[in-house]
Amino acid sequence: MNKSKALLEELINAVVSGNVRRTRKLAEEALNEGVPATVAFDKMMEAMRVVDGKYERKEYFTVDVAAASTAMREAFKVIEPHMKVNPADVAGKIVIGSLKGNIQGLGKDIVAGALRSAGFQVVDLGVSVAPEDFVEAAVRERADILAVSVSVDETLPYLKDIVDILQRRKLNGKIKTIVGGRAVNEEKRRQYGIDAYAVDAWECVKKARNLLGQE
């Protein structure tokens, strides 16, 4: 195994174990070895899928997931400035946030970073954002897209509120919507009348471009 591959394997293990300092150090070493930032990012996403699996099997508890998420966030700070997605000739503006009742912001932060790397203007509203606040921000910022993160099943009905407010204000079709997160899928997207669903950060970039007719 060459040094780059070994570093990436160690990076996965460091994220899974929630070792913040080591994760950050390995991310820096990987970049110094010439590993593309997008490859390092993919490995960290792989690590979080391992963490999710451990949590579902009750091998991990909430504190373990939080530790892994913190490690992931620190490593992402290192690699984000180096992530390059071929910028669209005409990028748009996206308002992003975690829906009301959702207080986990890691996934949303990663998506926001990927969108910025792709050349989009991104306005991050943070976590637990009310439907009306999403729409108000989109209008105020003259955004093209609302990107909504949903990780808690019980908060799904708030998606309908976002769509209803857009329709009531005759903004549906003018402001597009994308959802992502653990609590949503393609079926839920159709059920709530959302324009697009993205399984991860890079697919969100692709779907955003598609919605704006850039791909």
Q: What are the pLDDT digits (tens) for 136-179?
A: 999 999 999 999 999 999 999 999 999 999 999 999 889 999 99
Domains annotated for the chain, with CATH where assigned, are 3-82 (1.10.1240.10), 93-211 (3.40.50.280)
Per-residue pLDDT tens for 123-137? 999 999 999 999 999
pLDDT of residue 215: 58
Per-residue pLDDT tens for 7-19? 999 999 999 999 9
The phi, psi pair for 70, rounded to 5°, reads -65, -45
Alpha helices in the chain (DSSP H): 3-17, 20-32, 37-56, 62-79, 106-117, 131-141, 157-168, 186-192, 201-211
What gap in Å lies between CA 113 and CA 96, rounded to an integer?
11
Mean pLDDT of the chain: 90
pLDDT of residue 86: 55
Residue 29 has pLDDT above 50, yes or no: yes
pTM above 0.75, yes or no: no
Cβ-count burial of 142 within 10 angstroms (0-12 exposed, 13-18 middle, 19+ buried)? Answer: exposed
63: confidence class by pLDDT, cuts 50, 70, 90: confident
pLDDT of residue 88: 47
Cα separations (Å) of 24 from 20, 62, 82, 107, 122?
Answer: 6, 22, 14, 18, 25
CA angle 72, 77, 81 (to 5 degrees): 135
Give the tokens for residue 98: 């975690």
> 37-56 and 201-211 helices cross at what angle (nearest 10)?
110
> Do 177 and 188 meet the contact criterion of CB atoms below 8 Å apart?
no
What gap in Å lies between CA 9 and CA 59, rounded to an integer?
21
pLDDT of residue 53: 83
Mean pLDDT along residues 192-215: 89
pLDDT of residue 44: 84
pLDDT of residue 24: 95
Per-residue pLDDT tens for 85-124? 555 455 799 999 999 999 988 788 888 878 887 779 999 9
What gap in Å lies between CA 75 and CA 24, rounded to an integer?
5
Cα separations (Å) of 50 from 6, 54, 74, 152?
Answer: 18, 6, 18, 19
Residue 5 has pLDDT above 50, yes or no: yes
What gap in Å lies between CA 6 and CA 56, rounded to an integer?
28
